[in-house]
Copies of this chain bind each other. A is one copy, B any other.
């Protein structure tokens, strides 16, 4: 992974074989960021993605074998139990331009991996919401 820091934005290019979410978390850890919002495109292989069942309070998992275009990655880096955590959702397309997507567990970049991280100074902490079964953002102001 190569990067450039441009005030509160980080441009990142991941290399073939780099795990997407893991690389984001490693960057966050070594640069001690507050929080980040992420956007990205590129190409990836064998993405492991999920669908959350609110009823079962668990994720279904599936690994899509093969190479895909990464059409959109949107997500963020926050703190879960004191550790940096990438929460990202993706859409990706196959060679027939069919699109699949879900919650990204992780995937490796194949050809290009072009990302922008927009950083905030303060951490966002996640806390387990027992009704939902997931650790959700804790933000100060309520409407």
Binding site for B on A (CB under 8 A): 1-6, 9, 11-13, 16, 23, 26-27, 30, 35, 37, 39-41, 43, 49, 51-54, 60, 62, 64, 67, 69-76, 87-91, 93-103, 110-112, 114, 116, 118, 120-122, 124, 131-134, 136-143
Contact = CB atoms under 8 A, between A and B. Distances in A.
A102 B4 contact: no
Contact of A89 (B26, B41, B101, B140): B41
A16 B23 CA distance: 31
A101 B112 contact: no
A54 B62 contact: no
A142 B27 CA distance: 11
Contact of A134 (B30, B73, B112, B143): B112
A93 B102 contact: yes
Nearest to A23: B143
B103 A69 contact: yes
